[in-house]
Structure formats: C-alpha cells, structure tokens
Amino acid sequence: MEKLSHKVKLYLKANGKTWEAEENRIVLVNNSDSNGDIIATWNVGGLAKPTDEQLNSYSAQAGTDYDNNIVRATRKNSYGDIGDQLDEIFKDIDAWKARIQAIKDSNPKS
C-alpha cells in the first residue's frame, strides 16, 4: 500500500527538494470521501505541484519502500537488544551469525 505522503517525498527527492525544508509547505488531507488523501496545500519553491500521473509513477517504489519498512521493523524486533547481541557475539560469534541470518532469511526485503 503506497501512501500519498511517500509518493510526494519521492517526487520531491527526484527534483532535488525535501519535505523537511523550512521553505516548503505541503499539507495533505483526507476528506473522508473514500477518495483517499489529497494535496491541499503545495508551496514548494521552484517546483510545480505534481499531477496524479507523476505521483502514480512512484507507486511501485512507494509500495516496495512500505513493504521493506515493515521487514526492517520485524527484523529490528527479532534482533533484540544491542547489548545482548554484543554479549552473544563475544560468547559465540558463529551462533550469532546463524541467528541473524535466519532472521534475515525469514524476513526478506523486496
């Protein structure tokens, strides 16, 4: 599921801009009309508001990024506390490597 906010961020990045830049003012809203989020305000210096076609060109990348973020969160939770990992590495690095590889194998990125 690609979110409008992520597609907008990809559009900005492709055009040398960032969401976080102070001079940029972007407001997304959902009118609860089952049409999803829309761009309500677009004030980005030197860059026109993207068309639906332009934003849709980022759907595949946004979907992949969304899926990979879920995988990253799952992996991070499975890895456990960094202190415990360091202790595990000190005691038996091969067992740690095998455990981490099993987590990666069961949670592949796209």
Paired residues of 27 in beta bridges: 41
Output the pLDDT for position 34. 73
What integer is the mean pLDDT of 85-92? 96
pLDDT tens-place string over residues 1-60: 468 989 999 999 999 999 887 777 999 998 777 778 899 999 998 999 999 999 999 999
Say what the pTM is.
0.66
Mean pLDDT for 72-98 is 96
87 pLDDT tier (thresholds 50, 70, 90): very high
**Enclosing domain of residue 22:** 4-106
Q: How many domains does the chain have?
A: 1
